[in-house]
Structure 1
Amino acid sequence: MELQGPFKKIIHVDMDAFYASVEQLDFPELRGKPLAVGGSEKRGVVSAASYEARKFGVKSAMSGVLAKQKCPTLIFVKPRFDRYKEISTKIREIFYDYTDLVEPLSLDEAYLDVTENKKGNPSASLLAQEIRDRIWEELELRASAGISINKFLAKVASDINKPNGQKTIHPSEVLPFLESLPVNKFYGIGKVTAAKMHNLGIFSGLDLKKKTLPELTRLFGKSGNHYYHIVRGIQHSEVKPDRIRKSIAAERTFSENISSEIYMLERLEIIAVELEKRMKKSKTKGKTVTLKIKYGDFSQQTRSKTLSQFIDAKADFMPIIKELLYQDALKDSVRLLGISFSNLDTEKRSPVWVQLRFDF
């Protein structure tokens, strides 16, 4: 069985160790050294790690304490999100020289639909190479890319030859590639789902393909429909230049764990001010308010309340946050608090990057 065209030409560009690479670009003394952005030797969480640090097993979302244990020579630097956003904007300007169909996923990655492109070049692989070359020549940063017929395959492909490489999955290669791919390498299948699949004897795309749609739906709910089609190379998701914002949030990690609810309310007041600014700036209101709590042992809890009307003012949602905080007893001291709005009031959104604040 072969896939039926016509096929789109999708590129997924993923910057290599973006935050860490920007720090090494701006501060030459950090080049070639194991580097962690965010976190600290005693507190916080690693936002990004240089490839020199990754060789020791340091990775994003790891505690600073564990990262230092794995790499005693690790250097911690404070994140500079304004600088990362500035560089990200320049990268995006390069993308727009090739197509207007650019869908940012974050500051350091994006999808590009180059089926019809401004260069008139029919080769998506050559375009990806040219884009990566320009990023290096103009910004001195490395990028990897994946090229294929849909977003899912392009995303998977971009990880294959990292760092500073690219991979093209041609239409004729799609089905054999997916059949041989381990299920834990499928984008969107996390550790828990992969473990469940392994317990069911599903280790590769070929194993997954043997399951019927009713079987997969019974085993994995709505996701079963996605798995059934994706393993057959079928995905119709368009590259969307204007992504829909589903939530707006603000959060803060503390330099020391706090256990007093009075102190927590003081911190939440500050977070609420920042969230109100973001809501006003985006001219957005929401109905569902969520309190995020991360404990000292890194376990996480959320408490939510949905209202009958849309709100955006701190004076309106802070009493709800207080109610959610006191809703149940806290199980431990707290290292992070956050507030978010979802169930928003408008369909037209622009990309949003929620930046985690770190205290050092």
Structure 2
Amino acid sequence: MTDLKDIPLRKIIHVDMDAFYASVEQLDNPDLRGLPIAVGGGGTRGVISAASYEARKFGVRSAMSGVLARQKCRDLIFVKTRFDRYKEISKQIRAIFFDYTDLVEPLSLDEAYLDVTQNKKGHPSASMLAEEIRQRIFDEVGLTASAGISINKFIAKVASDYNKPNGQKTVNPEEVLDFLEALDIRKFYGVGKVTAEKMYQLGIFTGKDLKDQTLDFLNERFGKSGQFYYNVVRGIHLSEVKPNRIAKSVGAERTFSNNLTSEIFMLEKLDHIAEELERRLKNYSIAGKTITLKIKYSDFTTQTRSKTLSYFVSAKSLIFETAKELLYQEKLKNSVRLLGISLANLNTKKGTEKPDKKVVSVQLKFDF
């Protein structure tokens, strides 16, 4: 059985920007500072992309409908999304990361893993490096960030949420097992709402409860995820920081101001979506074989229909024709509020990834 002391330990920092989209809007418009704002979500059918901490106090959250958010916070201010601006700020932040290590794995515009086991500053303390990085982001960009620091990506990710906003938490090697045992199962990264409810029904409420279960028990009830849960609660997560994460899929989607009730009305929308997807594929210089049509109905249930071709495609015409075929594959269950098209099984090659630096195996006494 693998033991924590037998695996390579790394110094991993997970940096997570605080309410990123909303904070950028407050940065660019000082009149919005200190006020409850929601990015996106305007109109009768909008969905919120991000909420400021002032709005979160009222229960406003991302992915919430604008109508519900308004009910929770009467003074909520809606601002339009500006993804070009968010990408611009994200590039500035990543430039800071690369001053410390080339092992940077972005998860999105507002968060990334950094492996600082061997770093450009030659500094032995990952905690102090995280503090310096956060200070530089504030001084040079004007935004706050939170960070988690530990021996692997999983624990660093969990830790970064502990002292938000504008804080950090380090889980030292000798603290890992106690930290995980005391952790509420809902805070385990990768355990969603449905899985958490299932675990509750099995009497699993904390990491300690999870650790008490056998591998056979977890495999029987959680399938392939059983091994993952068995390992991570013991501090074992071998995934390395990968500087060039290869995209598994590329997609585009649109939410409509009015529900669509007929496939005929949807064809024009799909044509525009296919055109946007073609543009994104050209930006990445990639193509794919598996085309998936996403349909979100007015009752918020979602359905996907997929088809895998025998050749790679990136042209709008072929994507649209396949999406059209999928649309007519079976009768719609209800009126439709959102359509999306994505392309997977891409022609990206693992050989294009930069090799990770060698990680030295060390004992649990590890300077953090």
TM normalised by structure 2 equals 0.93
Assess, with a 3 A threshold, how the Cα gap between structure 1 residues 260 and 303 changes in structure 2: closer, same or farther: same
Partner residue of 1:19? 21
Partner residue of 2:359? none
Pick one of 101, 110, 113 that aligns with 1:111: 113
SS of the counterpart of 2:27? helix
Assess, with a 3 A threshold, how the Cα gap between structure 1 residues 148 and 134 changes in structure 2: closer, same or farther: same
1:1-360 matches, within 5 Å, as 3-4=5-6, 6-348=8-350
Cα distance, 1:153 vs structure 2: 0.2
Equivalent AA in structure 1 for residue 172 of structure 2: H
Of stretches 75-84 and 36-45 in structure 1, the one that deviates more from structure 2 is 36-45
Q: Is the 8 A contact 1:292 1:300 kept in 2?
A: yes
* Distance in structure 2 (CA, Å) of the matches to 1:25 and 1:97: 24
Q: Is the 8 A contact 1:38 1:45 kept in 2?
A: yes
* Distance in structure 2 (CA, Å) of the matches to 1:317 and 1:26: 38
Partner residue of 1:354? none
Q: Is the 8 A contact 1:35 1:74 kept in 2?
A: yes
Q: How many residues align?
A: 350
Deviations 1:283-317 (A, max 9, x none): 21211110011122222111111112221112222
* Distance in structure 2 (CA, Å) of the matches to 1:56 and 1:297: 25
Deviations 1:175-219 (A, max 9, x none): 011011111110000011111111111111111111111111111
* Distance in structure 2 (CA, Å) of the matches to 1:69 and 1:146: 34
Equivalent AA in structure 1 for residue 87 of structure 2: K
Cα distance, 1:6 vs structure 2: 5.0
* Distance in structure 1 (CA, Å) of the matches to 2:124 and 2:194: 40
Q: Is the 8 A contact 1:272 1:314 kept in 2?
A: yes
* Distance in structure 2 (CA, Å) of the matches to 1:16 and 1:269: 36
Partner residue of 2:357? none
Structure 2 gap segments, 5+ residues each: 354-368
* Distance in structure 1 (CA, Å) of the matches to 2:299 and 2:194: 20
Deviations 1:16-35 (A, max 9, x none): 00000000000111111100
SS of the counterpart of 2:257? strand
SS of the counterpart of 2:277? helix
* Distance in structure 2 (CA, Å) of the matches to 1:136 and 1:174: 29
Assess, with a 3 A threshold, how the Cα gap between structure 1 residues 274 and 2 changes in structure 2: closer, same or farther: closer
Of stretches 147-156 and 303-312 in structure 1, the one that deviates more from structure 2 is 303-312
* Distance in structure 2 (CA, Å) of the matches to 1:309 and 1:41: 41
Q: Is the 8 A contact 2:14 2:111 kept in 1?
A: yes
* Distance in structure 2 (CA, Å) of the matches to 1:3 and 1:67: 47
Deviations 1:137-159 (A, max 9, x none): 11110100000000000000000
Q: Is the 8 A contact 2:13 2:156 kept in 1?
A: yes
Partner residue of 1:358? none
Equivalent AA in structure 1 for residue 257 of structure 2: S
Equivalent AA in structure 2 for residue 160 of structure 1: Y
Deviations 1:112-131 (A, max 9, x none): 00001111110000000000
Cα distance, 1:4 vs structure 2: 4.2
Of stretches 235-244 and 212-221 in structure 1, the one that deviates more from structure 2 is 212-221
Of stretches 333-342 and 315-324 in structure 1, the one that deviates more from structure 2 is 315-324
SS of the counterpart of 1:47? strand
Assess, with a 3 A threshold, how the Cα gap between structure 1 residues 335 and 9 changes in structure 2: closer, same or farther: same
TM normalised by structure 1 equals 0.95
Q: Is the 8 A contact 2:38 2:48 kept in 1?
A: yes
Q: Is the 8 A contact 1:41 1:68 kept in 2?
A: no
Partner residue of 2:361? none
Cα distance, 1:44 vs structure 2: 1.0
Partner residue of 1:357? none
Cα distance, 1:2 vs structure 2: 6.4
Cα distance, 1:260 vs structure 2: 2.7
**Percent of aligned pairs with the same amino acid:** 70
Q: Is the 8 A contact 2:4 2:235 kept in 1?
A: no
Equivalent AA in structure 2 for residue 128 of structure 1: A
* Distance in structure 1 (CA, Å) of the matches to 2:283 and 2:28: 30
